[in-house]
Structure 1
């Protein structure tokens, strides 16, 4: 693809101006607004984040920058099968809202993995979960920051190393100056920009094909829109069943167990606000998700009779959307610059928010327990978290550089998300919904699940695969099909040697499709042939089954824990089973965030939501004293949770 000099000047100018604006605007409050004085301010965003901004930020985190390129190319070359992953995303929101958030919200934790420490009284389980999150986040962030570099290098000539260094350097600056609030503001800017660009592309496609209805009819006639395809074959890359179930369990792991999402929930002031935000976010996600697919339908309608990749104008599937923008918006200088800037800024905003969460988890779950950091004040903790975030920014940049060189790293990192979602989700469900679960069962469940899912993941790489794409044609190509400035590119060394097909936010958009296993295939190849859409389901099931069995076999009286760490539904159900009644302790360290302010010596007289319910509605069945610890059994009533207004750090000393 060729660009004349003046068009490149316009594109570069618009690109630079947009990046400067989208970088400085979120940091405006750092210099002229309220400053972050404590760790809570940095982690939870000062409590000044609006519901609208939070909704758009969560939606952006749900879809990601790679979906902006991935969904249109997926529809163009594979069809709409992955569109049905929307069912799983939408189903996950109410589950997270009514199962996960009520448990988290009353505890006053900073890292979501602190909950596992409280529930199982085990640093081992906590570190296993947080370590899983850190490793998979770093691998996926490397792919995320690399995503826009291929398109930017191909279209406007920005060296991929320059893009990687730029994204990483700005991310480190955000980490040092902004915190969560700046990251969410960047998400809002990026989200609005992508919506406007998507609408512009749809309108241009409508004009090019001669009507809005053709955006739907042309892809439908060519077999691109195929919904409700129930094959019953677990080896098919994706059908309706695997799209829904696979994405449901993956989304539950992401929305309910990942620090970057839970951190956003806990930054809101009341549980009612969290619930309203999450449920209101469903139509937002549906609109944004479908918008990307409609963009793909529009692009396909324009190029239905002349595929740019088959014609030799692009080298990779994910270049179809940048090619469309360059081709059809050639009459508007600078539009391509805005498009590329949105890709750059999209990778930037995701990198910033995830680095913030990674630094918080690393401090809370690992470094804060070291003797060297015992007793440091809140301001010093904040500085350590920022320093950790800066290190992660450099690490992500290094992973991004390796993306273009090591093919094993790429495919393994993309599959890692699917493989690790199950163990992570399983241990949280075990903690919340299985009263008998203890630390031994949780640890064994996670370890066994990790071993088996990773074995299947890497074993699947040994099964022969083939690229399966829907048919395209170049029969309709003429001299007037593309704009006059479009020429066939010379394949660069980078594109010739990079193994990455950057197609989506989620790991299942690779360029190879696993074919159904032949009837004569034997063990273990038949296991390896299972679609990776089911990996999260398999991992969750293994963690729950192994964790429950080991817990039953190793149960002990010392496994008692505070009832607030268990979901009320699980408590109700547990009383229906015969056997000895489970004992629960009142843990004085579990306090909501309205108990104590880190900036003052005052202590609020307001009781926690659960304490008020116990005072007003609960009758104690048994009360006894054992070694100074109150042991109680209570009839549960689902708590009406009011968000504490200030922050309190809980840090258990128990260790296994």
Structure 2
């Protein structure tokens, strides 16, 4: 075979970056920083929090949808999903159906409540519904959750950079972190939205390039798919209902839907983007436009993992010692199939870092909003003027960014980035979703119930997470791999295990032992995709029990804008005589009257702006 076409498992060496690759990567950072600088100069006269945190509240649905897509479909997905397909089976494909339920529930149950209240921080809702202590507690939990998550997101692409180029791991962490802190701090939400839009384009270009060239290398995608069929990786009919099964139809569709609902329905970073739209309808459109994008990125990553298995089917790079973690599989694959094409590896690493930048910038902006609205204005200075409030937001974003940089070391010890990130969202995001669900859907819930439920829910989920790390329950079996095609002349420096032992371990996937029915062992073995659903169910149940025990809230006393008419939303075709008792005494007619009044006001403003000749001297329609 020609030296130009020799791969890592044949040579024992990984390809490295060239000058063109470094230039393209630097260009990504420069463009991202330039967008922030552009909006900092353009909006220098609009120094107010609405512009900095909500982009003036007048963004179109398209950039908002792309920003929603970029914010959490990040380097976590780009690195973790191909490794998932390589190591396990195609059961994870089902999570795409879960996205559909996530978007539908978030767009039509949660978003309308927050949008109609006109809040900047979604945790303002909790004070209106359950009092200030609940708001303060959840704000603290959210900030902790996002800082830890952003640390994982920043570490993951830096790990990829280190694996494929030898570039210092911590040097890349600081380079990317500083650029992101710069454009987020000076440019605000507009910079975040438009850099996200640019970065989604880079992500899609990188993924398509990898999939196309990888398919060519293995003789076509259909051949790659057949290799996965032959190895038993193609599995779509695992309907095992046991919640400790890592991935099944049930855990991916329903567990995955609730996991992502905690992101799209109760996470400040996502909801803050929806609020930047001028109308509720456009906010909902942005969510639905986001759905096909989620599926495209998910399945591109899944297909790349399938092609990667076909490429390494005769030499598992992790077992052979070419990489040390599954998260390095995709970078190795890219450098094998694209390493001889100047500039193309640079596009890939730009793709990975685009996902990290978008998530980090979104998180920093949302933390600035939460700490300003829920901490500074509540506990420090309640009457900040716009200039000081905007400066405080920028300072918060700056400090939060450096804290994330410091915590990246912790992220380096968490193992697989995909599972670590989603487990984190389940442990902390699940109780947050639960308390919002308790408030929005169940009118009887009171402050004591909410506080008790969410505080004990966080403790309960952390107990499960820590129990998993301490007791290390049986892991799910890996799909079979092989080493028969490796260059064994390299084993003196790359590998030390006996060949017979390696081949045995590499080709036979051990079955997990789930025979014990010890309730604690089973609890610690719970699939990470059920974390959010478990936390939400626990929070709602405990919240209702405590609320009824301490004196439930009278539904008639509630402001209907704090609630969602669930059955009117999900089943509007039902007759009024059935829907009325399903509103549980909440008088939504008041909210309809308010909406009609607001619509009339909007129409008057529209007429005023577009037909000045039809208005009287007071500016009212004539």
What TM-score results when the alignment is normalised by the length of structure 2? Answer: 0.84
Question: Which residue number corresponds to residue 71 of structure 1?
Answer: 81
Q: Does 1:56 align with 2:66?
A: yes
Question: Which residue number corresponds to residue 337 of structure 1?
Answer: 346
Q: List aligned pairs for 1:282-297, cutoff 5 A.
A: 282-297=291-306
Question: Which residue number corresponds to residue 280 of structure 1?
Answer: 289
Q: Does 1:551 align with 2:547?
A: yes
Question: Which residue number corresponds to residue 435 of structure 1?
Answer: 443
Shift, 1:48, TM fit: 5.0
Question: Which residue number corresponds to residue 149 of structure 2?
Answer: 140
Q: Which whole-Å CA distance do the structure 1 matches of 2:493 and 2:592 have between them?
A: 64
When residues 203 and 444 of structure 1 are mapped into structure 2, their CA distance, relative to the original with a 3 A threshold, is same
Tell me whether 400-409 or 546-555 shows the greater mean CA deviation: 400-409
Question: Which residue number corresponds to residue 601 of structure 1?
Answer: none
Q: Which whole-Å CA distance do the structure 2 matches of 1:610 and 1:206 have between them?
A: 58
The two structures, once aligned, show a CA RMSD in angstroms of 3.5
Show CA shifts across 1:536-557 (max 9, x none): 1121111111111222222377
Shift, 1:413, TM fit: 7.3
Equivalent position to 1:568, from 565, 568, 578 = 565
Equivalent position to 1:423, from 422, 431, 449 = 431
For structure 1, the residue ranges without an aligned partner over 5 or more in a row are: 481-485, 492-511, 587-607, 616-638, 647-656
Tell me whether 136-145 or 417-426 shows the greater mean CA deviation: 417-426
Shift, 1:158, TM fit: 1.9
Question: Which residue number corresponds to residue 452 of structure 1?
Answer: 460
Shift, 1:20, TM fit: 1.5
Shift, 1:14, TM fit: 2.7
Q: Which whole-Å CA distance do the structure 1 matches of 2:15 and 2:315 have between them?
A: 24
Show CA shifts across 1:111-137 (max 9, x none): 0111111122x1111112222211111
Q: List aligned pairs for 1:531-550, cutoff 5 A.
A: 531-550=527-546
Q: Which whole-Å CA distance do the structure 2 matches of 1:641 and 1:111 have between them?
A: 25
For structure 2, the residue ranges without an aligned partner over 5 or more in a row are: 1-7, 496-508, 569-575, 607-622
Q: Which whole-Å CA distance do the structure 2 matches of 1:203 and 1:4 have between them?
A: 19
Question: Which residue number corresponds to residue 192 of structure 1?
Answer: 201
Question: Which residue number corresponds to residue 594 of structure 2?
Answer: 611
Shift, 1:514, TM fit: 10
When residues 313 and 641 of structure 1 are mapped into structure 2, their CA distance, relative to the original with a 3 A threshold, is farther
Query: Is 2:565–2:583's contact at 8 Å kept on the other side of the alignment?
Result: no
Query: Is 2:81–2:418's contact at 8 Å kept on the other side of the alignment?
Result: no
Query: Is 2:419–2:528's contact at 8 Å kept on the other side of the alignment?
Result: no
More helix by share: 2
Question: Which residue number corresponds to residue 595 of structure 1?
Answer: none
When residues 15 and 119 of structure 1 are mapped into structure 2, their CA distance, relative to the original with a 3 A threshold, is same
When residues 302 and 529 of structure 1 are mapped into structure 2, their CA distance, relative to the original with a 3 A threshold, is closer
Q: Which whole-Å CA distance do the structure 1 matches of 2:304 and 2:171 have between them?
A: 29
Q: List aligned pairs for 1:136-535, cutoff 5 A.
A: 136-370=145-379, 372-404=380-412, 415-466=423-474, 468-477=477-486, 515-519=512-516, 521-535=517-531
What TM-score results when the alignment is normalised by the length of structure 1? Answer: 0.79
Q: Which whole-Å CA distance do the structure 1 matches of 2:20 and 2:312 have between them?
A: 26
Shift, 1:25, TM fit: 3.3
Query: Is 2:323–2:329's contact at 8 Å kept on the other side of the alignment?
Result: yes
When residues 525 and 545 of structure 1 are mapped into structure 2, their CA distance, relative to the original with a 3 A threshold, is same
When residues 297 and 176 of structure 1 are mapped into structure 2, their CA distance, relative to the original with a 3 A threshold, is same
When residues 612 and 374 of structure 1 are mapped into structure 2, their CA distance, relative to the original with a 3 A threshold, is closer
Shift, 1:230, TM fit: 0.8
Shift, 1:66, TM fit: 1.6
